[in-house]
Structure 1
Amino acid sequence: MDLLIKGGTVVTAAESFLADVAVDGGKIVAIGKDLDVEADKIVDATGKLVLPGAIDAHTHMQMPFGGTVSADSYLAGTRAAVCGGVTTVFDYPVQHKGETILGLVGSKKEILEKDACCDYAFHCCITDFNEGQILEEMAEAVEKGITSYKCFLVYKKEGMMVDDGMLAKILLRAKELGAMVNVHAENPDLIDLRTEQYLKEGKTSAWYHYMSRPEFVEAEADKRVVHWSTHLDAPVYIVHMADKEGLEACIKAKEEGHELYVETCPQYLEFTCDVYKREDGRNFVCSPPMKGQESQDALWKALKAGFIDTVATDHCPFQSYEKDWGKDDYTKIPNGCAGVENLYPYMLDAANAGKISFEKVVEVCATNVAKIFGCDNKGSLAVGKDADIVIYDKDKDFTISVDNMHSDYDHTIWEGKKLHGYPVKTFLRGQLVYEDGEFVGAPGMGEFIKRSPRT
């Protein structure tokens, strides 16, 4: 036996119980009390929680955007991931005109095969049909384990938006192939209209980033996605849900039995739009922006009630000098914030404080993600699954700072956030990659996850 984790409290999406976990050949081979096995390495987890590695279903690493490239390379971003207990990330390569799905994903895989410190998968962003070739290519891509695609209902001027007709075609094709469509829902025409008005009036601070795309601008697009999904009877996954009105439309569809999944992010659970009034408000600029207190309360309520399926980060950090490009004009601020290293610690801190259960954290940060996106060997602690394991000390106090993160950015919106409880070890397929604040893995350890289509 390669590894035996003894005496911890194993947490699944359904229950918690005292047990040992035995690992061999990168897989979990036994779970039980007082396992009588010999192992090359024994880890004492007495008094600690033993959790499945988190899966961050939403990251943008090494991504060209806003006149620059996001601050975390694939190496830095995946290194940060495992140091926060995230053992698999989903990245979003964006198709440009004329590119194919497999060509785009292949170019990213070449980098990640050398640099990845955790396992990885892709949601391919479709922006160009290539005269219908993309719909045909989706079949081959699904066979190769690329089973999810993203559509932007925004970024019209940037040439990334799909219209309703394209969205409908992709939804129907994905349904036919057992794939999933992820949607970024905001209304670009309303954003452009309001932005034009604010710039004309000289209203250019970060606050007007929020004001240009407030709750109702996101909600309209959310409702449109729900409308097409339910009437086409095609499943859909709405990313980074931030507003109450759109969330309520999703909940209604779910209650009516439609297959619709909702993701939110830690930044929407922690911050409100008031951050854009701060002197450093530009650092919080992301799209969609943080919303008002009413929306935040609705997100927490839906999370507890099971209407939010996953929590992911939309990790897309930029350097402070790049954020400063928009200090006098919010439209020049690169959109995105850090989060991949903070996802699991933040959500587990909420559980430690009694806001939600530890089982719920495992459900929305690991188990549900694996089920929705066909990661058959991920997402839970069970015999036969990959030994992606996090040991969590509920009593360890930790204060987030750019100085103790493992990314390449020079600031974080989480600076000064105090957490009670923190991961102390992360194992990727049974290999120790993080221990007591230090990355101890190596670039290239991560593997591509070939995912199963939906049945």
Structure 2
Amino acid sequence: MDTIIKNGTIITASETYPADLGIAGGKIVCIGRDLSDGAAEVVDAAGKYVLPGAIDGHVHLETPVGSFISADDYQSGPRAAACGGVTTVFDFAVQGKGQGLVEAVAARISAFKAQSCIDFSFHTAITDLTPRILDEFEESVAFGVPSFKLYMVYKDLMVDDGVLAEALERSVATGALVAVHAENPAIIERRTARLLAEGKTGAWHHYESRPEFVEAEAIKRAIHLAKAFNAPLYIVHLACAEGLAEVTKARDEGYAIYAETCPQYLHFTNEVYQRPDGRNFVCSPPIKGAESRAALWEGIRRGDIMTVATDHCPFQSFEKDYGKDDFTKIPNGCMGIENFYPYLLSAANQGRISFHKAVEVCATNPAKIFGCAPQKGTIAVGSDADIVVYDPAKHFVISQANMRSRVDYTIWEGVELQGYPALTFSRGRLVYRDGEFLGEPGWGNFVKCRGRNPRL
């Protein structure tokens, strides 16, 4: 064995037990008591929890957004992720007009591979669905990218309901998974025009341009179409109580509807948009009210929200300031790639959810839904040795000064966590230890995912 992690308490989505963990060739090769190998490096995890590395299933690294590019690149984003216990990230390859699905992904793999210190995969954002692209669903699934995102909003990216219906229907036959950003663009456009005409230009009015019902209506519409074809549907960054209620209803009826939420929706409320730095919190869908925040936590506990991911798409403060006098000019996006696993684990440490649930929504469920389990997302013999050794006793205060992102601020400034990752291993390699980044650009591998498994 190369490494033995001894004396820790292993926690998966379903089990908690004391055991040693043996690692060789990047894989978990044995789990047991009193493991020994004179050639192995021994890591003492006494008093600590040994967890699967998290999977951030929703990041936007080095991504053009209007006239801006998201601040974290393929090196700084994975670096920050590793320091927060994330061992795999899913970025988005945005299809250009006339571009093939595999072509769109292949263009990003080599650049990502050269810079990332952890493993990575992709979803493809479809913007030009032609008959040829429908035929290419099967090829993309075989290539290892079986998940496709469709935007129901943003003029330069969005698709209409007819396109969404065609994609859902084709996904059933090919084992693909369709994901949607669900908001109603026509309502947003008219509300925005009215607000600007009334001189209402601050960050609060970003929320007022697209409040709860704007997201909920689009979620209901997308679920209705998914039901029509009995197609699975993944709803990204769900933020509102009414939309979640529709997810619960559909799941209770037996449909394969998966919902993701983000840590910013679990911690903050729309009151942040009235702060002097409110523009830093501008993202879409916007952060909603306290009723929605409470519903999201209940949705996690109940199992109707199956994943937590970050939608990590940060911009520098001076870029956010570009919209200080016009909320429509604020680049949309928040940071969280280094914070989301520690945040959910801290919630577990304080009894808000169980540690099993934190592992489930941050690691195990993403691996199952996106088709990379059991290689990723769990602790089991044969799985990749993507491991976090977590210190439940460590008190940690988030600050821009102790984050590894390239961004010059964090919306998480001053948030206190009980417990924090002490070590992160990527395929058996130590990439983070007690505040020190030890990873190397180019270590990360592209993770080929499989087409849809039976419903969870």
Q: Same-fold call, TM > 0.5?
A: yes
Q: Tell me the CA shift for residue 307 of structure 1.
A: 1.1
1:248 to 245, 249, 257: 245
2:171 to 150, 174, 198: 174
Note if contact 1:262-1:310 (Cα within 8 Å) is conserved in structure 2.
yes
Letter in 2 for 1:211: E
- 2-side partners of 1:315 and 1:324: how far apart? 19
Is 1:364 paired with 2:361? yes
Note if contact 1:116-1:444 (Cα within 8 Å) is conserved in structure 2.
yes
The equivalent residue for 2:197 is 200
Note if contact 1:62-1:71 (Cα within 8 Å) is conserved in structure 2.
yes
The equivalent residue for 1:297 is 294
Q: Tell me the CA shift for residue 40 of structure 1.
A: 2.1
Q: Tell me the CA shift for residue 242 of structure 1.
A: 0.3
TM-score, structure 2 as length reference: 0.98
The equivalent residue for 1:47 is 47
Is 1:396 paired with 2:380? no
The equivalent residue for 2:87 is 87
The equivalent residue for 2:67 is 67
The equivalent residue for 1:10 is 10
- Root mean square deviation of aligned Cα: 0.8
The equivalent residue for 1:431 is 429
Note if contact 1:83-1:406 (Cα within 8 Å) is conserved in structure 2.
yes
The equivalent residue for 1:383 is 381
Instruction: Report % sequence identity.
Output: 59
- 1-side partners of 2:207 and 2:184: how far apart? 13
Is 1:152 paired with 2:166? no
The equivalent residue for 1:349 is 346
Note if contact 1:181-1:237 (Cα within 8 Å) is conserved in structure 2.
yes
Letter in 2 for 1:353: Q
Q: Tell me the CA shift for residue 137 of structure 1.
A: 1.6
The equivalent residue for 2:409 is 411
- 2-side partners of 1:160 and 1:234: how far apart? 22
Q: Tell me the CA shift for residue 66 of structure 1.
A: 2.6
The equivalent residue for 1:138 is 137
Q: Tell me the CA shift for residue 39 of structure 1.
A: 4.2
* 29-38 vs 57-66, greater mean Cα deviation: 29-38
Q: Which runs of 5+ in 2 are unaligned?
A: none
Note if contact 1:66-1:333 (Cα within 8 Å) is conserved in structure 2.
no
Q: Tell me the CA shift for residue 232 of structure 1.
A: 1.2
- 2-side partners of 1:341 and 1:355: how far apart? 20
Letter in 2 for 1:401: S
- 2-side partners of 1:235 and 1:194: how far apart? 32
Is 1:285 paired with 2:282? yes
User: Secondary structure of 2:93's match?
Assistant: coil
Note if contact 1:226-1:253 (Cα within 8 Å) is conserved in structure 2.
yes
Note if contact 1:55-1:379 (Cα within 8 Å) is conserved in structure 2.
yes
- Alpha-carbon deviations, 1:47-82, whole Å to 9, x = none? 000000000000000000031100000100011111
Letter in 2 for 1:268: Y
- 2-side partners of 1:438 and 1:153: how far apart? 41
Q: Tell me the CA shift for residue 117 of structure 1.
A: 1.0
User: Secondary structure of 1:425's match?
Assistant: strand
User: Secondary structure of 1:74's match?
Assistant: coil
Q: Any residues of structure 2 matched to 1:97-108 within 5 Å, and which?
A: 97-108=97-108
User: Secondary structure of 2:94's match?
Assistant: coil
TM-score, structure 1 as length reference: 0.98
Query: Judging changes above 3 Å, is the alpha-carbon distance between structure 1 residues 231 and 39 closer, same or farther for their aligned structure 2 residues?
Result: farther
Q: Tell me the CA shift for residue 113 of structure 1.
A: 1.4
| Equivalenced residues, count | 452
Note if contact 1:66-1:335 (Cα within 8 Å) is conserved in structure 2.
no
Letter in 1 for 2:140: A
